[in-house]
């Protein structure tokens, strides 16, 4: 009987262990799932740290971070938009008004460029400064001679009075040289011969005093209110003017066919005192194929610096160019070329006054 009871108890114990095993396994599985969920939750809380990587997020204009998926979508959208929209290159239409004359870096102390058709100023730099003008004076000398309607074929001579006692400049015209008034005017305008210019004034009716008076009357008649002439060569620093006044004088001189011809003659062979001599123009630009010059005159004394005035056609427009007190020997030519290139590259569709500092 006791043995049967022990057997029954043993069987019950075994059955109890078998029933609890599935329950324990289920409990273990639930515990593992709970732990997994807790781990995932902790990982989710740490996810923003990964957003610090530049490859994972970007910042909008408002400073908000975009998730990596949105970044990819945004990049794809941007790439698609770029393909759909053709690239456009910025096209700059350069006009005179867009360009600063100050960038020309003009080395002449005074400068002026005027459109002869409209009278409008294109470039201006200290154009009202009263300065010595050196041999630019010879344009006035030629106008006074021509206004007097003197015989251009009359023979005149170089005398002792024509020798430069002020600056001591040299000349290729010895005292006693004879030539026609026309030849003297050619040499004065083309080669800036001081003795030829002085002889023109000295052989004027009434002599040199009358000639100087005529020069100043002509200046006043042209509206050159800030100009004064003391002699016909320009060797005196008391021959003064402004760029504005000289623009008036150049425009007036351009109306004389003789001055246009003589001042732009590149070179000439002349028989003087029984010898053939070669003379050239003091302005190298008259020999350039790139320039179309109607009138030209250079000038130099130490007080005036290097000077150049021209009437020329630039960018298909007739212009007057005045350059005064340039420092270097080739500076005035360099300034003239810079002005020409600037005008041609800018075009003249819309011309306004440009001031160069």
Is residue 138 flagged as an active site residue?
A: yes
43-82: b (≥16 Cβ within 10 Å) or e: eeeeeeeeeeeeeebeeeeeeeebeeeeeeeeeeeeeeee
Q: Which residues contact 163 (CB under 8 A, 6 or more apart)?
A: 171, 175, 195
Q: Are 181 and 152 in contact (CB under 8 A)?
A: yes
Structural tokens at position 125: 């730099």
For residue 134, how many other CB atoms are within 10 A of its CB?
Answer: 27
Q: Which residues contact 241 (CB under 8 A, 6 or more apart)?
A: 130, 131, 133, 136, 219, 224, 226, 227, 228, 249
d(CA 36, CA 34): 5
Is residue 4 flagged as an active site residue?
A: no
| Residue 132: strand, helix, or coil | strand
| Annotated catalytic residue within 108, 110, 125, 135 | 135
Bridge-based pairing of strands 354-355 and 121-125 is parallel
Is residue 68 flagged as an active site residue?
A: no
| Residue 56: strand, helix, or coil | coil
Q: Is the dihedral angle over the CA atoms 135, 136, 137, 140 positive or is it negative?
A: positive
Q: Which helix (H) or strand (E) holds 235?
A: none
Distance of CA 344 to the CA centre of its chain: 11
| Annotated catalytic residue within 125, 138, 218, 340 | 138
| Annotated catalytic residue within 108, 137, 191, 192 | 192
Which are the catalytic amino acids? 135, 138, 192
């Amino acid at each position: 009987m006791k043995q049967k009871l022990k057997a029954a108890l043993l069987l019950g114990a075994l059955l109890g262990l078998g029933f609890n095993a599935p329950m324990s396994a289920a409990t273990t599985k639930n515990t593992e799932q709970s732990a997994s969920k807790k781990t995932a939750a902790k990982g989710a809380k740490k996810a923003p740290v990964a957003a610090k990587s530049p490859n994972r997020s970007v910042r909008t204009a408002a400073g908000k971070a975009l998730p990596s998926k949105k970044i990819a979508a945004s990049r794809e959208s941007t790439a698609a938009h770029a393909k759909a929209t053709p690239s456009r290159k910025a096209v700059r239409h350069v006009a005179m008004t867009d360009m600063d004359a100050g960038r020309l870096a003009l080395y002449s102390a005074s400068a002026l460029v005027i459109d002869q058709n409209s009278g409008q100023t294109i470039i201006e730099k200290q154009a009202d400064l009263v300065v010595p003008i050196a041999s630019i004076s010879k344009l006035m000398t030629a106008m006074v001679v021509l206004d007097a309607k003197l015989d251009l074929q009359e023979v005149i001579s170089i005398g002792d009075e024509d020798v430069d006692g002020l600056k001591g400049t040299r000349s290729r015209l010895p005292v006693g040289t004879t030539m026609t008034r026309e030849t003297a005017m050619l040499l004065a305008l083309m080669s800036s011969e001081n003795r030829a210019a002085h002889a023109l004034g000295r052989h004027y009716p009434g002599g040199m005093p009358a000639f100087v008076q005529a020069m100043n009357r002509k200046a006043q008649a042209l509206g050159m209110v800030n100009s004064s002439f003391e002699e016909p060569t320009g060797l005196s620093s008391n021959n003064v003017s402004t760029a504005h006044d000289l623009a008036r004088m150049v425009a007036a001189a351009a109306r004389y066919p003789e001055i246009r011809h003589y001042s732009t003659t590149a070179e000439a062979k002349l028989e003087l005192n029984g010898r053939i001599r070669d003379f050239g123009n003091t302005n190298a630009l008259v020999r350039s194929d790139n320039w179309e010059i109607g009138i030209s005159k250079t000038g130099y004394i130490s007080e005036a610096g290097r000077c150049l005035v021209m009437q020329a056609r630039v960018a298909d427009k007739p212009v007057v160019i005045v350059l005064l007190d340039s420092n270097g020997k080739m500076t005035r030519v360099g300034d003239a070329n810079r002005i020409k290139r600037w005008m041609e590259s800018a075009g003249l569709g819309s011309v306004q006054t440009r001031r160069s500092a």
